[in-house]
Structures are given as structure tokens and as C-alpha cells.
Amino acid sequence: MLKKIVPVLISTFLLTACATSPTGRSQLLIMPDTQVDQMGLQSFQTLKSQKPISQNPQYNQLATCVAGAITQSTGGNWEVVVFEDASPNAFALPGNKIGVYTGMITLVGGNQEQLAAVVGHEIGHVLAKHSNERASQDMAVNQGLGMVQAIGNPQSTLGQTGMALLGLGAEYGILKPYSREHESEADIIGMDLMAKAGFDPNQSITLWQKMDQAMQGQQPIEFMSTHPSHSTRIQQLQQHLPQAMALFQQAQATGKQPRCQ
């Protein structure tokens, strides 16, 4: 009897955990948003206590201005911190926290549009609840739920996850491909966010071309990377550019012309 009840309970649980991302992609979200937000807040607080915070007024003004223009359309109060770190990086965490490394500002040369592409991308991860989704996928796989769903619906996202366990395994069959999917989705969301804020979305393509040059061929091959290759990323952004340009023109028509630099 128990063997019959457990699959029913699991199926019911999976159905109630289904969600849709901002781009319309199906997601599995198990963890409560409040719990994920709390994890983001704790991580951000820890980082602030361990990593030096930049006192450069120009860097802080630029990052705050760019993030403020983008988050005006997303709502909520976002904390922005510039960290002293030479690596070209930035991040956003659940709980409305944004971190920008001085190395990223150096890489973009203070260009507000290119920094907006970075910040928009990172905020896209938060809006799409990628942290929750990654944790949920990992929980589902570890608990064997993927295999149960695969039997009932092998064409679903989680069903394909379960089937992947029979082939390449969790490392290359699940976690890394999903991460590339999240990165690509965040690119599109970020491009739309920067365009809605009045930043030229063409500059997002310029940014990744610049990132490609900065890497100097050191990026791992795409199949074994948690990020899309720069060429793939640029191609996807170019395909989405017409839609983003329409949003940019609408923003410009309503007077959204950021002056951050």
C-alpha cells in the first residue's frame, strides 16, 4: 500500500512546486522564497565582513546609479556594494542585494551601458529565481524524485533530468547544462531590463566581445562549462536585439535617459 501512496504524494508535490520563469520556461521551485532570500541576505552579510568595500566615490556613484535605474522597473529596495576586487565580476543575490567588483568597472572603462548589461544580467538571475531552481533540482535529484517523474512524464524538464542520470550523470548531464540555461535566460532578461531603463542594449553585445578578449582564450569548452561560450552568448543576444531595441526606444520616448557616468 505504501508503495502506491508514495508516488502519488510525490507527484502531487511536484505539481504544486511547478512555476514559470519570466521567459515562460517551466521551473521546479521547492524552497520557499523567504528561505532563499534569507540565505542571500546571510551570504551578502558574510561577504561584506570578509571582503574590502571600495571607497572610490566615482565607482560607487556609477554602480548605484546604474542599479537604481534598472531596479526602478523591478520594484523593491536593492542594496548595492562595490567590492575591492580586481576580477571582472558582479553578482546579485536573493533578498535584493547587488555586488559589483572594481575589476568589472575597470573592464568596462566606466561605460554605463556595459555595466548596465552586467547588472541587468545578475538581477535577471534573481527575478527568474535561479538560485531556488538550482537548489530545487539538486534536492529532487538527490531524493530520487527525478526518476519518478521521468517514468510518468519523460518529456518534462524534470523527466529529462531523471533520464540524464542514466547517461552522463549529474555533473555533466544535469547541473552544468541547467546552469548554462540559466545564464542564457539571464542574458535575455538582463538585456530587456537595461533597455527598459533607457540603456542601449547594443552595448551588451559589446560587453561580451570585450569579455571574450579579456579571457584570451582561457574559457573552458562549452560542454564542460557552467556558462555558455562567449560566441553562443553573443549570438543569442544578437537574435534578441530587435525586441530589446523596441523596449529601448519606448524608454527613450518616455524620457528615460540615464546619466550615470
| Residues that are catalytic | 122
The answer to whether the CB of 141 falls within 8 A of the CB of 161 is yes
Contact yes or no for 226/180 (Cβ under 8 A)? yes
Q: How far does the chain reach from its first CA to its final CA, in angstroms?
A: 67
Strands 26-28 and 18-20: antiparallel
Look at residue 115 and give its three-state secondary structure.
helix
Return the residue matching grid coordinates 568595500: 53
Tell me 24's DSSP state: S
Whether 104 contacts 116, CB under 8 Å: no
Backbone angles phi, psi at 78, to 5 degrees: -110, 130
Q: Is there a contact between 77 and 96 (Cβ–Cβ < 8 Å)? A: yes
